[in-house]
Structure 1
Amino acid sequence: MKIIVAGLPKTGTKTMNAALTLLGFEVYDWLENFWYFGDEWKKQIRQGCKIYDLRQMYENVDVVMDTPCDEYWQEIWEAFPDVKVILTTRDDKSWFRSLWQHFDQARSDFVNRLISALTYSGLKAQQHFIMTHGRFVSVGSWPLFRIKTHNEESLCRMKSKHERQVKKVVPKKQLLVYHVKDGWGPLCDFLNVAVPITPFPHKNKGASLMVEWRKENPIMQRLQKELIVTLVCLFAFLTFGIFLAFM
């Protein structure tokens, strides 16, 4: 473990993911945390985080970010006390607006809703989402999984409290408070790496995460394939049922 990105979702974490990946780090974001450690996180959250287990989970991973790692960043930091911590941040109003747009897109994304409702892995992902995003939203039951964002005032208070705690706990030499608009300079200085020739990335503009994930993320692509197989099986089953009904 080398880096914990302790910033909350919608503070530029997907841009940070892309930037750290370009710098050669292996990043575990929300999908990776679910896909590879979903069962472990279910146990950790329900039974209480154990430092030894977190060390076993992430000892060979370079970077962790997003839920549930941003909520349990301090426990992860206690498991890896020598790592660097990046606190991504942005102003409260634009953060809440981006957060609302993100969940609004999740509500309206038809493919995502089909994956969540009709596939085994998608259903597990949705359960993991419900378990790890309770700070931000309330989610209805299967098969609709209606999402309702919590109110702006309470969420902004939670964000401020979270950021104060990170700044209080992490020694200054290990902490970078970072705005993604600042680009490569402060990030590369903090990590002691050369500034790449590649332009600094900007991801998830206008809450475009679902579209970007389906194009780029191998885990999301596997979930889409699972949806296709499910739909084909359902179509075959219905066709066979209709055939039998008219025999």
Structure 2
Amino acid sequence: MALSIIGAGFGRTGTDSLKTALEMLGVGKCYHMHEVMLRQDRVDNWRAIARGETPDWDMIFQGYGATVDWPAAFYWRELSAYFPDAKILLSVRDAGRWYDSMEKTIFTTLRKTKDLESLGLRLIRDKVFAGNIDDRDHVIDSYQRNIADVQATFPPERLLTYETGSGWDPICKFLDVPVPEDAYPHKNQSNEFHQKIDTLNKIREEKRD
């Protein structure tokens, strides 16, 4: 199965909700950072990619029809070239609110990380934000520059810029599918983030044992 949808939006732009929404629309399983954290082999694969090793995209996304969130979102250029028929989904939200959410969740977690080779540090901190997650202006500039780069790269027929909170209509129109009767999902609010991370880490540790 080749990817039919590639998410190019940063984490904390409603990607967990998008994952659920896309699966509800029948695109197949959707890859997300949660998928990585559940399995050590996936963590190891992405660490190798972050070090510059050549990725096997077919192997990484085997069984998945879509991907959103980091780590894959950082590689939207490579993935869009490798899967030329895939549509690009750029999730966005107000830059200030996005930054506040990052501070409450991902950045807090990264600053506590003791594993210096963690995927969060090596990919998100060092690559996405060029090693600097403490300068608000720099972080927001990185976020806005990614949006501009994605929008400048793809034609309208291949790209949807999806504003978080817009519900089903833009996505269903973009994918040419009916609007579901069920409400659009709302997942992983900031106050749920750390509990979810703890749960995922426990599951991975149990699988190691």
Q: CA shift at 1:136, angstroms?
A: 4.7
Matched position secondary structure for 2:74: coil
Q: CA shift at 1:40, angstroms?
A: 2.6
Matched position secondary structure for 1:172: coil
Matched, 1:173 2:176: no
Q: CA shift at 1:81, angstroms?
A: 1.0
Gaps in structure 2 of 5+ consecutive residues: none
How many residues of Structure 1 are paired with residues of Structure 2 in the alignment?
Answer: 202
The corresponding residue for 2:19 is 17
Query: 39-48 vs 72-81, which deviates more?
Result: 39-48
Matched-pair contact (CA < 8 Å) for 1:90–1:179: yes
Matches within 5 A, 1:57-68: 57-58=60-61, 60-68=63-71
Change (3 A) 1:161 1:193: same
Q: CA shift at 1:181, angstroms?
A: 1.1
Change (3 A) 1:189 1:96: same
Provide the rounded CA distance (Å) in 2 between the counterparts of 1:44 and 1:179: 29
The corresponding residue for 1:201 is 185
Matched, 1:77 2:80: yes
Matched position secondary structure for 1:203: coil
Change (3 A) 1:49 1:68: farther
Provide the rounded CA distance (Å) in 1 between the counterparts of 2:22 and 2:195: 21
Identity between Structure 1 and Structure 2 (%): 25
Matched-pair contact (CA < 8 Å) for 1:86–1:175: yes
Matched, 1:47 2:52: yes
CA RMSD of the aligned region, Å?
Answer: 2.9
Q: Larger RCO: Structure 1 or Structure 2 (Cα < 8 Å, ≥ 6 residues apart)?
A: 2
Q: Which has the higher helix share?
A: 1
Provide the rounded CA distance (Å) in 2 between the counterparts of 1:162 and 1:104: 18
Tell me the amino acid that sits aligned with residue 154 of structure 2: V
Matched position secondary structure for 2:72: coil
Which protein shows a greater Rg? 1
The corresponding residue for 1:6 is 8
Matched position secondary structure for 2:157: helix
Q: CA shift at 1:32, angstroms?
A: 1.8
Tell me the amino acid that sits aligned with residue 13 of structure 1: T
Provide the rounded CA distance (Å) in 2 between the counterparts of 1:214 and 1:195: 34
- What TM-score, normalized by structure 1, do the two folds share? 0.70
Matched, 1:151 2:135: yes
Matched-pair contact (CA < 8 Å) for 2:133–2:139: no
Change (3 A) 1:107 1:156: closer
Residues 143-174 of structure 1: CA deviation (Å, up to 9, x unaligned): xxxxx942110011111111111111122101
Matched, 1:90 2:71: no
Residues 77-127 of structure 1: CA deviation (Å, up to 9, x unaligned): 11101101100001111110111011366379xxxx8xx87xxxxx69x72
Q: CA shift at 1:49, angstroms?
A: 4.5
